[in-house]
Structure 1
Amino acid sequence: MDEKLMRKRKWQSTIFLIIIIVIAYLSADITNFNILHGIATLPAALGWIISNLFITQESLERLPDILVKLNETIFMSIAATTTGAVVSIFLGLMGSKTTRVNSFFSSLSRFIASVSRNIPVVAWALILLLSFGQNSVTGYLALFVGTVGFLTRAFIESIDEASQSSVEALRATGATYFHIVHKAVIPQCLPQMISWILFMIETNIRSATLVGILTGTGIGFIFDLYYKTRDYNTVALITFSIVIAVIIIELISNYIRKVIL
């Protein structure tokens, strides 16, 4: 019986692999993508990067302006994440099977999370751009909507995975809904929620660069400006600044996770 089951799984894996290969081949054929040509052009691409993307003394003089825009991007990402997290907590409580008020609000919460999460942040920026124009509000709202979608889903799963014993014990004593949430649910889920919030801050800083190109704000705007003027030395400095900032934020987040988890 075990041998037949293993043979069946092997055939399923083989068929699945063949399907993936066929889909990949058809996709390359439809898009006229030639992997051999792509590999052949790698040395030339690396050579261009080495010869053009390097930091000079002239580009370093623009560092103060770059840091101002970088700080704008970081703080906008933090603001969008924290405010989005507050909304996500309420939606998560309504959407979770453990703490839902009724099936209607539970379904509504999950629907909001699904729509917000499945539309990319860049697409949200394009949609909001039509209403709010090129400004920091558009960038903030795009990151906010994306954050609400992701964190609501993450919080729902975190609450669902919480221990039911303390919740049932409080219900048996006649505790109110808010007492159950405050005393049983939030204390158990808080470390995991903080971890998700920190992860979302890192993600939003990366996304904010692309959003800034569309909305004309933050580090994305200044990157696009110097890229279009072919000032590749300044582009290299901006890219290096973004990488360093993301690494620092990630190190801080990892340290906080080790402390709270």
Structure 2
Amino acid sequence: MLASNIHGNMIDDQPASRANFFVGLIETELIRHGIQVELDTFDHLRGSDFKTYVNRLKSAHIRGVICIYGLQEMEELNRKLADSGFYVLDIRNEQSSNATINTIWYDNYLVGRIAAGFLVENSHRNICCIASDLGLEWEKERISAFEDMIRAADGEIRGSVLRLPSPSAEGKRECWEAIGRNAVDRLLQIGNISAAFCVNDGIAAGLCRELQRRKLNVPGDISVIGCDNDYTYWDLGLSTVSLECLRLGTVAADIMNKCLRGERDSVLTSAIKIPPLLIPRKTVRKLGS
């Protein structure tokens, strides 16, 4: 039986994250293709000697690796795995710099346009974008989309951008939430903000929780939208923009299936872009309603 191996660095410690949700979808599709699946975590990989790890994969007859939202250091590991003869598929929220590995990603500029545009469609005219000061490429693209939308509005929409320091350069969930919490004072100082566009769901969650702690209502006082669908099962019902999950699962499984069955030439060795999808929930309200 053909075997594949799915690696997701967020599987074990973030059970409600989009990575874990994608793992289930991809695993189901791979099994449907008759492919055996073994799950692993990034933390386990980090602590392993690479040669020992490769030998373990080969002894288990594993020939393919799918990396789901790996950290920056996964790029080097993916390259090594590819050089060692494994078929590697990288799923990430920005285009990989490694042109030799199949990558599924989504257009962060479009993510920003959809998220900010949803606030405008709901009659918000004074919007703040909240991000970190890390200067990450995907953040820059989402902020750029927001700023372009404000400029195109020709004065009809007021927009401001807050870039707040992160407690850590690693970008872990608790760090993003801390940025959201720390943004509240600055947000209130600006005044008259009716909505916040957060460049990811961690910031949005931290912002919502701190607003609620201060007895402010979301979305009654401030509407909030995030990106990436990291808080799928959160009680508050965070509005967000994310990958079209079902399509991602189908595409990822199809690529790996073809590679493992010797049909690699029929798969583009390049970036495959999946369109983002608006997921409106409860944290955005239409002004005047």
- TM-score calculated relative to the size of structure 1: 0.27
Q: Which has the higher strand share?
A: 2
Indicate the structure whose relative CO is greater, using CA pairs within 8 Å and at least 6 residues apart.
1
TM-score by length of 2: 0.25
**Structure with a larger share of its residues in helix:** 1
